[in-house]
Structure 1
Amino acid sequence: MATDYEKEGVTTFLVRSQIFVAASPETVYETVSDLSRSGEWSPECQGGTWVRGEPSTVGAVFEGRNVRGTEPVPWAPVIRGEWTTKAEVVEAVPGKVFRWVILTEAGARQESTWSFEIEPAEGGSLLIHHYRLGRLTEGLAKIFRAGLDEAGRDRFVKEWNAKLAADVQRTVERVKAVVEQG
């Protein structure tokens, strides 16, 4: 049976953070659109490999190596340790936006969308990092159906959204440091 978080039109997670970066939008874009470097700024993604298509272009697929310890929402029945995900670039406009979605095991797009948006600002750029999960990914759907009652699902969404917000904030801070240090 589907949970409320699997219904069409739902937003399960939604986080956004922004920061000023003392570099041109093109320089910021060049950095954030290279997902193989994401280990330099992401709290979970340790980098990875482009496995299909021209890197950083629409349609390209990236396989990310991820790692998560026991600290984030320690009671939650999520993957701990190492795992991989595949993501497809869905928008790539140099100096403006780089957006990708997480794929299912079969390669279909899920409603799990990450993006970096860049706006020109006096003396540099405004970097905006955004994440939205609509319907649950296939992995979360299994956890929600088998391991959590309604109160547990609601608690998980609230606490995991807070964890994601902190991760997105740390990410923009780290990207700023990487870009500004050259």
Structure 2
Amino acid sequence: MTSIIEKSPLFELRADLHVSASADDVYAVVSDLPRSGEWSPECQGGEWISGAPSQVGSVFRGENLRSEEIVSWAPLVRGVWYTECRVTKAEPGRTFQWMMLSHVGENQESVWGFDIAPADGGAVLTHHFRMGTATAGIHKIVADLDEPERVKFVEDWTDKLADDLAATLRRIKEIIEKS
């Protein structure tokens, strides 16, 4: 029997929200990853460690924080930890995406991003996440779980991701529309 962890994509989610601002103004905010602590439920911000900020190929080091309550039964990293990602798409007013890197700097099939489309009175902002094959981190989390627990983890983590995408969009909308 094949494990759910071998499914591809393992996760693929998106959420949309209308923002009362131009596509260029929305892009200026979402492509400024050091500000992500203002809107992300997990990423507390960070810094560009190589390349020009927000440009394809640039690497960002994020500081993350996860509480004990998040999928509390699973053996997840808790507290503060760091990740690195590489910008893979940067088209002002249209799309900004980044790929998570492994602990040794290799690409992983874990891609986050924002797409922006002009719409009446502003823009539609789409936040999306796709994990093709499970990352080393996911394999580590589920290593000691039996298959029913792995299925439960994927279900619970999918719910968590969906909530995070929606919360991120609401916070970005509030930030942009206040300015």
TM-score over 0.5 (shorter chain): yes
Contact 2:74–2:141 (CA<8 Å) still a contact in 1? no
Contact 1:3–1:144 (CA<8 Å) still a contact in 2? no
CA-to-aligned-CA distance 1:2-47 (integer Å, 9 cap, x gap) = 955246xx11112111100000000000000000000000000000
Q: How large is the RMSD of aligned CA atoms in angstroms?
A: 1.2
Instruction: State how 1:81-160 maps to structure 2 within 5 Å.
Output: 81-145=79-143, 147-160=144-157
CA-to-aligned-CA distance 1:76-131 (integer Å, 9 cap, x gap) = 11111000000000000000000001000111110110010000001100000001
Contact 1:11–1:134 (CA<8 Å) still a contact in 2? yes
Residue type at the aligned position of 2:59:
V
Among candidates 154, 175, 179, match of residue 178 of structure 1? 175
Q: Secondary structure at the match of 2:68?
A: coil
Residue type at the aligned position of 1:169:
A
Residue type at the aligned position of 2:5:
Y
Contact 1:99–1:114 (CA<8 Å) still a contact in 2? yes
Unaligned runs of 5+ in 1: none
- Give 2:38's aligned residue: 40
* Structure 2 CA distance for aligned equivalents of residues 83 and 129 of structure 1: 23
Give me the TM-score of the superposition, normalised by structure 1.
Answer: 0.95
Unaligned runs of 5+ in 2: none
Contact 2:66–2:77 (CA<8 Å) still a contact in 1? yes
* Structure 2 CA distance for aligned equivalents of residues 96 and 52 of structure 1: 23
Identity %: 49
- Give 1:22's aligned residue: 20
Among candidates 46, 49, 53, match of residue 47 of structure 2? 49
* Structure 2 CA distance for aligned equivalents of residues 127 and 160 of structure 1: 23
Q: Secondary structure at the match of 1:31?
A: helix
Q: Secondary structure at the match of 2:151?
A: helix
CA drift at 1:168: 0.4
* Structure 2 CA distance for aligned equivalents of residues 120 and 35 of structure 1: 22
